[in-house]
Amino acid sequence: MTKRAKEDELTAERRTPEAVPAPAGPPPELARVLAAQRGAGNAMVSRALIKQRTGVRQIHGDWIGDIVNKAKKSAGMPYVATIGSEKVQVVSAAEEAEAARIIKDIQDKYGIEVSTSKGVQAVKDHYDKAPEDVRKKVKGATWLFAELVALERALAHFAPILGSRRSTSERIGAEQEITSASKVDQSITKNTATGALDDATLGEFFRDSKNFALFTPGETSDIDFPGDVPKQLEATTVHEIAHGLMKYAEGDFMKETGYWTDRATKSGTAGAEAPPTSYGDKNASEDLSESTMFFFVSPDRLKNGDGSAAAGTPGNPCPKRYAFLEKIVGKWKLPVGDFPTPNKDTAYA
C-alpha cells in the first residue's frame, strides 16, 4: 500500500461542475421540508428529505446542503462550514471559529495559503499524461477539523524558516519552498496513459507548484502510530512539508549518515545506520522526510528505533539521523547576542 507520495512532484486544473440554474423559489417539496423543520425538528427533516428525495433532487444543490447543514448544526452533529474558499467539517460554532482562525494564522504567520483548488491544480498539472477522464475526476475534499489542527502543529515545527521569520533565518537567501496546502480527494497513481485514481496515497508534495496536498485516505490512517490518528495526521503532514523545506539538506544528510551514495543508491557499507522505516528505505529523499517526521513528532522513536529492528536494517535506532537534524534545525535561527552599537556612519533608518 502506498504510504505517502512521491517527492519531486508538480501541480492542474480545478474541475468546475456544470452550472445548474437555481429555482426562483422553493418548490412544494422543499416548502414541506422547511415546515417540518420549524414544526418537528431535525429528525422530521431527515425523514422528510428521504421521503421526498425524488422531488428534492430537482432542487439546486446549495439548497439541500444548506438545509442539511442547518439541521445538523442545530442537532449538535458534525456539519460542513464554508470558510473562505474552503469546506471544513466541524461540530460546533466554536470549532468553526477556531478553524477560521487556523486558516488565517497559517497564511499570516507562515506565508502558506490554505487552498484546495491549488492542490487540485497541482495534481492535474503533474499527471498530465494520465487519461483525461481520470484527471477530470480529481476533486477537492472537505477538510476535517483535525486535519487543520494537525497542519498548524506541523507547520509550527518549521516556523523559523517560514513567513516573515525566514528573513531572519539561515534560509534568508532562498525562496520559501511551500506556499500552499490543500485537501484533495485522491491523487493519480502514475503519470502515464494507464494512470488511475489513487486510493492509498496519504499526501503528496508538488515541487514546481510549491504545494502539498493531503488526501482522503489519510483521514483514518494510523500507519506509524497505531491507534493515534491525530498524531499520524501531524506526522504525515510533517513528512510532506519536509520534502519541500528540507530538500536543501539532502546532500549533507547522505554524507553524514553514510547509508546512501546518491539519492537512489545505497552505499552497502556494513553497519551503516539504516532509515527509521522501510518506507524511508526507498531513497534518500524519503529517508530524510521520514527522519524529519520522527524528529519532530516522536524523537525517542527516531533515536531508539522501533524496538524490533536489528542494527543496519530499517527501524533500527537512528542516533546519527537525530544528531544531523538537531544540528540542521539549530542553525535555522541566526545568532543573537551583544553586538557593537552602529555609529552614525553605518546606521540607517
What are residue 188's DSSP bridge partners?
A: 197
| Overall pTM surpassing 0.75 (yes/no) | yes
At residue 154's C-alpha, the angle toward residues 247 and 263, to 5°, is 20
In this structure, what is the dihedral angle of CA atoms 330, 332, 334, 337, given to the nearest 10 degrees? Answer: -30
Residue 278, C-alpha cell as written in the block: 522501510
**DSSP 3-state assignment of 321?**
helix
CA atoms within 13 A on the CB side of 326: 10
Identify whether the C-beta of residue 11 lies closer than 8 Å to the C-beta of residue 119: no
Asked whether the predicted pLDDT for residue 91 surpasses 50, the reply is yes
pLDDT interval class at 62 (50, 70, 90) = low
User: According to the model, what pLDDT value does residue 301 have?
Assistant: 98
Identify whether the C-beta of residue 182 lies closer than 8 Å to the C-beta of residue 206: no
What are residue 214's DSSP bridge partners?
A: 183, 203
Q: In this predicted model, what pLDDT tens digit does every residue of 225-262 receive, in sequence order?
A: 999 999 999 999 999 999 999 999 999 999 999 999 99
* Phi, psi dihedrals of residue 261, rounded to the nearest 5°: -95, -30
User: According to the model, what pLDDT value does residue 198 have?
Assistant: 98
Q: In this predicted model, what pLDDT tens digit does every residue of 277-287 receive, in sequence order?
A: 999 999 999 99
| Biggest CA-to-CA distance, the chain | 82
Burial grade of 60 (CB within 10 A; 0-12, 13-18, 19 or more) = middle
The arithmetic mean of pLDDT across residues 305-322, rounded, is 96
DSSP line for 55-85: HHTTS-HHHHHHHHHHHHHHTT--EEEEETT
